[in-house]
Structure 1
Amino acid sequence: MTALACGALLFEAVWTRAGNRANTWWTTLSNELATRPVDDVWILTGAAVAAALGLVLLILALTRGNRGKLPMKVPAGGPAGMRAVVDRRSAALILRDATMSVPGTSAARVRVGRHRIHVRAEVRFRDPADVKAELTKTVGDAASGQLRLAHPPKQTIHVRRSPT
């Protein structure tokens, strides 16, 4: 509602500045704002509403959202309003454990973003292409099976030989 009102005001201001004729409501509003004294009740009420709205928007901008959490699938037969989430760091730890269970993997780093899972693994023995194929399957199964993510992120898997 507020966005719609702000959009209408912005449109009318640009429309008038572009050389077009102002609408009657715009002319009436600007005349009222220009002729009323600053200590008028309606001016003070409008200023208080604007300040309260600005404070609410500032609080919403500074509070932490759910960006660090990934939504999970609701179990079949569960309550309709139930929502489950998993922290991205916890998901990364679970996926790292799954990655380390692949034979040949000596070290792994896993980062879980909102849209992508980044896996960097080092291989001591075995062919890196075979390990990469197995890691792709393992990480995909863990993301959709063990974590039960509602929207499993895409995977980016990098495999390299261990330096030692």
Structure 2
Amino acid sequence: MTAPAAERGSTTVADRAVRRIAERAATEALEPGAVEAARGSASVRGRRARVGVTVTLPYPAVLDEAGERVRSHVAERTARLTGLTVPSARIRVRGLSPRARSAGQLAPPMTGAGAAVVRARRPWSQRRLPVAVFALAAAAVCGVLLYDVVSVHVAGHAPARWRVEAMEWLSTHGPESATASGVLAAVAVLALGVWLLVLAVTPGRRSGLPMRPPLPGVHAVLERRAVAGFLRDAVTDVPGVGRVLVRVGRRRARVRAGLEFGEQDGARRAVTEAAEAAAAKLGLARPLRLRVRLRTEPAWRAPAATPGSGSGHASVPAATERSTLR
């Protein structure tokens, strides 16, 4: 009796295929890029397979928990993809690598005096508007000129009057003529060429401040308006501070705050510390140089002297200023 077609033949999974699947499964156990698989082993006997993988885990990590997650994932994933029975997987931790970071695990920011300046460039602007305007103008001029040339050479029409007059004007108003109109035209063409060269070799987007790269190949930009708003909110939270004006440039930020009530020296220190703490949290590649200025509002009055403090309180200037470099 002939066996059914579905029961004929056999499927054999090679040891090499099982080993490659186990190695790939080990790298998928934790976050992407967190586990590195060095080498693996596999032995297939009938419908059962034994696998083992040598891995490098990220640091810091709890070894027993991370190893158990890798082991269970390798066994389950290999069994599901190969159709074999995988009783267990052997995982050998070869080492720990601090460079194996997940996509959501960012490098801790460096703040304070030891913070290093990370080189990060502004992203290049695509400059769609000037390129589109220049391309449309050039296309329109070339299209009109091409239409007139084709109509003359193909249809036998007379050349357009504007082209004849333009050619006559150009023949008598060249650079050697030294006329005012020729000089102005040459200056305009030169200015246009210089402007296009500047656009080609500069990144543009001066409103964005580059941030510290969290991962290799990742570029982030923070708008100046957002930086100004963040600094303004931080300074406004200081008790006694009312109106706050913030101007952010490419290298420095100017903070002007108005004091409505309270003691000036303490408010000045609190405003400066709040601005510095907020600037340190921005994560910019080049820390901003802060210039903090505190002025008293017209309704401000000096605090009353407490008993035992002497004959009175020392007069303070109406405006104080402090510059800090970070």
Query: TM-score, normalized by length of structure 1?
Result: 0.59
Confirm whether residue 122 of structure 1 aligns to residue 258 of structure 2.
yes
| Deviation of 1:124 (Å) | 1.0
Q: Which residue of 1 aligns with 2:267?
A: 131
Compared with structure 1, are the counterparts of its residues 129 and 60 closer, same or farther at alpha carbon in structure 2 (3 Å cutoff)?
A: farther
| Deviation of 1:61 (Å) | 2.7
**Secondary structure at 2:219's aligned position in 1?**
coil
| Deviation of 1:108 (Å) | 0.4
Which residue of the other structure, out of 59, 69, 76, is the alignment partner of 2:208?
Answer: 69
CA distance in 2, matches of 1:60, 1:112: 28
Alignment RMSD, CA only? 2.1
Deviations 1:118-152 (A, max 9, x none): 0110011111221121111111111111x211211
CA distance in 2, matches of 1:109, 1:58: 34
CA distance in 2, matches of 1:130, 1:148: 27
Which residue of the other structure, out of 241, 262, 265, is the alignment partner of 1:105?
Answer: 241
Q: Which residue of 2 aligns with 1:152?
A: 287
**Secondary structure at 2:232's aligned position in 1?**
helix
Query: TM-score, normalized by length of structure 2?
Result: 0.31
Runs of 4+ in 1 over 3 A off after TM superposition: none
Structure 2 unmatched runs, 5+: 1-188, 300-326
CA distance in 2, matches of 1:65, 1:113: 14
Q: Could you say which structure has the larger radius of gyration?
A: 2
Structure 1 unmatched runs, 5+: 1-50
Q: Which residue of 2 aligns with 1:86?
A: 222
Which amino acid letter does the alignment assign opposite residue 275 of structure 2? Answer: V
**In the TM superposition, what are the counterparts of 1:13-32 in structure 2 within 5 Å?**
none
Compared with structure 1, are the counterparts of its residues 95 and 60 closer, same or farther at alpha carbon in structure 2 (3 Å cutoff)?
A: farther
CA distance in 2, matches of 1:99, 1:122: 10
Which amino acid letter does the alignment assign opposite residue 255 of structure 2? Answer: V
Compared with structure 1, are the counterparts of its residues 60 and 137 closer, same or farther at alpha carbon in structure 2 (3 Å cutoff)?
A: farther
Identity of aligned residues (%): 37
| Deviation of 1:97 (Å) | 0.7
**Secondary structure at 1:137's aligned position in 2?**
helix
Aligned length: 107
CA distance in 2, matches of 1:136, 1:60: 42
